[in-house]
Structure 1
């Protein structure tokens, strides 16, 4: 899509070709530009400069988010390694086994009511 200024210029040139040299060209151009500016002001448009600025902010935010996600994954990985090495799941006694070994009696199964 054309930026608003280029669009206005294009439409103005086309309108001036239609009306020819004999008509009050300058007056029509000014009225047409004013009409188009009024229409554009009602729309929620941003300038190219504002758009480019927001794109830069978005790129920096994405880069920072990716860096933070990588750091979080690294920290989560560090947190899991020592815990897994210290107590393997196969050798870890369950509470029922420990109770049985300490009391030397059979654990009682839970009753369903």
Structure 2
């Protein structure tokens, strides 16, 4: 039983050390730097892009229908 407790304590300490290593600090800083750079680039997510693409397709369909109707009305004159 004391062996398990000892191993758990060592595992816990190793985990704490891994969290406080320069590599973990570098990773955190790199993520923050990249996040800031991406936010300034005015990027959109794939989901937002797909929604806008669908809206554009619907608008193009409506525009085509309105152009056809205008052509028909002009032909009646």
- Residue in 1 aligned with 2:71? 73
More helix by share: 2
Q: Which has the higher contact order (CA 8 A, sep 6+)?
A: 1
Matches within 5 A, 1:21-60: 24-60=22-58
Q: Which consecutive unaligned segments of at least 5 residues does structure 1 have? A: 1-22, 80-113
TM-score, normalising length: structure 2: 0.64
Q: Deviations for 1:12-69, whole angstroms, at most 9, x for unmatched residues?
A: xxxxxxxxxxx73222211111111111122222222111111111110000000110
Q: How many residues align?
A: 57
Pick the structure with greater CA Rg. Answer: 1
- Residue in 1 aligned with 2:5? none
Q: Which consecutive unaligned segments of at least 5 residues does structure 2 have? A: 1-20
Root mean square deviation, CA, Å: 1.5
TM-score, normalising length: structure 1: 0.45
CA distance in 1, matches of 2:60, 2:40: 32
